[in-house]
Structures are given as C-alpha cells and as structure tokens.
Amino acid sequence: MAERNGAGDRTAGDRAGRNLPPLSLYVPEPHFRPGDQADFSGFDIPAADAAPRPDETSAAGDMRDMAYGLVRVLDEGGNAVGAWNPNLPPETLLKMLRAMALTRAFDERMFRAQRQGKTSFYMKCTGEEAVAVAAAMALDRDDMCFPSYRQQGLLIARDWSIVDMMNQIYSNKADRMRGRQLPIMYSVREAGFFSISGNLTTQYPQAVGWAMASAARGDTRIAATWCGEGSTAEGDFHSACTFASVYRAPVILNVVNNQWAISSFSGFAGAESTTFAARAVGYGIAGLRIDGNDALAVYAATRWAADRARSNAGPTLIEHFTYRVEGHSTSDDPGQYRSADEGSHWPLGDPIARLKQHCIGLGIWDEERHAAMDAELASMVKDAAREAEKNGILGHGMHQPFETMFEDVFEEMPWHLKEQLQQAIDEKKAAGL
C-alpha cells in the first residue's frame, strides 16, 4: 500500500502509475517580434459612446464592468460623443493641444541633447502626452501629483519653466536638485510635483499617505499618482491599494499601460489574463479602463475620479490604455525586442493628431495654425535649451559647490557631518584640488 504524506496526498509512485501528462510552464510571448509585420486587425475597440458613465459616488461593486471596457470620447471621425464627453470650451481644448505639442517638442530637443552628449540620459513620452497633460488640466492646481518618469507633461501643463526643467536634466549650476537626481527626475514643490524616484512605484504609497493626511486635516486637496503596467507587480503598488481602500483615501491611482517595459511586454505583468484596471476590483476600489490616446477621455475620467475623491467616495484606479512609441529610454533599443512598425499600426492613433482633428472639426483650428504652432514651439524650446546650457552641461566641470554634498539631509547639520565635511575639505586642500 502506498504511503500518504497527508490527507489526499499521493506518493511519486502513485502518480507514476496514473499516466499523467507532464506539467508545462507557460511563458508569455508578445504577438510581434523584430522582423514581424504588426497586425492589430483582431484588436477589439469598443465604440466611442459605448461606456456608461456611473455617478461619481456609486459603490465600487456596482461598476465592475468599467474595469473591463474602454472609456472613449473621440470617435474615428474626431467627434466627441457619448456620456463621457466633457464638453470643454474651445480655449481649454486649444490650451491642452498646445501643452501636448510643447511636451513633444521638449522631448525632441532633450533627446537630441542626450545624443550630443550634453546629458547622460533621457526618457521621451511620445504617444503618451495625453496621459499627463489632460490629467493635469482636469485636476486642481494645488492637487499633489506623484509621477513616474514619463509624466513631464504635468509640469508643462502647469506652465512650469522648461528652462528650469532643462537645468535639472543638465545637472548644471542652476539645477534645483543640485545634481543629486538622475536627469528627468524632477521635483517641483511649487507645482505640486513630488520628487520622482528611480525605484519603481515608491510614489504609490507616498501618494496614498499624502491623501490620507489631507483627509485627516480636513483639507480639500487630493493626490494623483502614476506608474507603468509592469510596476503593478511591485509590492508597493499592492500596499498602496490596501491602504487606499481601507481608509477611502482621496487619491487617483493611474496605471499607464503602454504595452512595453524596457525589454518585456505587458504579458509578463499579467495583461494576458485580465486588464490592469481589474486590479481595482479585488481591493473594492472603483476601476476605469480608458483610451489613453484620447485626451478628452483622460480629462473626463480624471475629473470623474477627482470629483469622487472630493466627495469622500474613495479612490479610483484608472488604466490608461496607450502605446510607448519610442524606446524605454535613451539607453534602450526597442528594435531588439519588438516589431519596428508596431507604433505606426497602433489602432488608437496618436493623441496629438486626434485632438487636432477634433479641434479642426469644431472649426476652432486648422492645419496652417497647427504648423505655425509647431514651428513656434520648436523655436521656443531651442531658445530655452540655449538659455539652460549657459548654466553648464554634462562633463563641463563640477557645477555645484563641493560642500553641498553634505547639505539638505538634515534641517540642521549634525556634528558628525560637520566633522566629515571639514575632513573632506582638508583632504581636498592637501591634494591640491
């Protein structure tokens, strides 16, 4: 008689006699690899007016389906349709279009600067401009943003100085971060822009904690945070969701599903099994899955989530379904792991082109004015780069005073750091430096 290790457990001998098929490990594989022709013809895109718009205070359990659909406003003809249409005035639409175009022009100039050796690193958000710009315009100016590293559009939409941003990228003498942050990891308290961290998803619990503090103080400000789809596998993501759910924190949890991490596709984060918005369901959080290349859908969903938070109805998780057109960063070559023509075949199009089409359809814009705006913005960014470069670029000496490496850790420098500082100064002098 075969021995049993516990109730119902069989020994290896028992299993060998049952003629069971061998187990196999499933490894996700992207649809298209280098050399393949991208084909999204089987892609299921719901109609722009298909998604219902629940009341902002509805119970999360009553809107489960919202995590599996796709909120869209702009249809194939560029018309704003359906219950989610925010009906924005012309001046808001054109401001949004300009901020998105400026973000792209800024990216192009800084990418070129990196290739010229003026900075060590850069990350573009090409194709994802609506995710940050439209969200910034839907939030209040004093709401706190906890971004990841591809939301430079938040600062641009809030009219922050692009010269100041460039100074940080160049780590020059005017860098407000004093050269302590990697390029593109901005921190601008005055613009409600929390310090970017290179450690993925640390901003999620920070945002939830800030939102909880705001609620505890009886404030009216809310928090919003962003991460990539791959980062939903990080522990910080799930800790944040737990606290946000339990304490009904006034926070918007944005997941930017741009299909790709630095060299692996979204399937490794769970995209083949369900949507990323569905992460909200298990936590009892309201979840929305939206067209991240539709600026009006991003605006409408963010405003809905913000109104929900301010009504004390709790957090919202928004999945922005979009596509990373460029490489993960200037250190990445996407041609090594994905089809070269995927971006041009992406069925949800380009966010700037789609908003431009909408504005032209309304009669408030035209191709000539758009071309003139692009030229103006390119010139403006070029002039800003020249201004920032006067403060120094990568490799042109140490831009920050030597002593600053010991500063800003404590409000008042403790005795042991003062001793270390003096020792470092003495050694520097002794070495003739």
Grouping H, G, I as helix, E, B as strand and the rest as coil, residue 297 is helix
Quick one: pLDDT at residue 134?
98
3-state helix, strand, coil in the chain (%, to 5): 45, 10, 50
Spell out where 369-419 has E strands. Answer: none
Provide the 3-class DSSP secondary structure of residue 147: coil
Same domain, yes or no, for 217 and 290? yes
> Are 291 and 420 found together in one domain?
no
Q: Is residue 6 part of a domain?
A: no
Same domain, 182 and 248: yes
Each residue's pLDDT tens digit, 79-112: 999 999 999 999 999 999 999 999 999 999 999 9
Question: 265 with 276: CB under 8 angstroms?
Answer: no
Same-domain status, 314 and 410: no
Q: Is residue 128 part of a domain?
A: yes
Looking at the fold, whether 379 and 430 belong to one and the same domain comes out as no
Angle between helices 129-138 and 295-310 (to 10 degrees): 40
Tell me, what's the pLDDT at 17? 59
Q: Is 149 domain-assigned?
A: yes
**CA neighbours closer than 13 Å in the CB half-sphere of residue 391:** 22
Say whether both 142 and 272 belong to one domain.
Answer: yes
Q: Are both 380 and 421 inside the same structural domain?
A: no
What is the per-residue pLDDT across 12-24, written as a single tens digit (0 to 9) for each? 656 655 789 999 9
- Residues 365 and 428 placed together within one structural domain of the fold: no
- Domain range for 142 is 63-334+343-389
Report the predicted TM-score, pTM, of the whole model to 2 decimal places: 0.93
> Which residues touch 201 (CB under 8 Å, ≥6 apart)?
227, 231, 234, 236, 237, 240
- CATH number of the CATH domain containing 90: 3.40.50.970
- State whether 315 and 431 are in the same domain: no
Domain count, the chain: 2
pLDDT of 2 strictly over 60: no
Same domain, 299 and 174: yes
pLDDT in tens, 253-291: 999 999 998 888 999 999 999 999 999 999 999 999 999
Please report whether residue 45 resides in a domain: no
Claim to verify: residue 348 and residue 433 sit in the same structural domain? no
Among the listed residues 378, 428, 382, 368, the one whose alpha carbon sits nearest the alpha carbon of residue 403: 428
Do residues 241 and 285 touch, judged by C-beta distance below 8 A? Answer: yes
How many Å apart are CA 35 and CA 317, to the nearest integer? 36
Q: Are residues 123 and 157 in the same domain?
A: yes
DSSP-derived letter for residue 188 is B
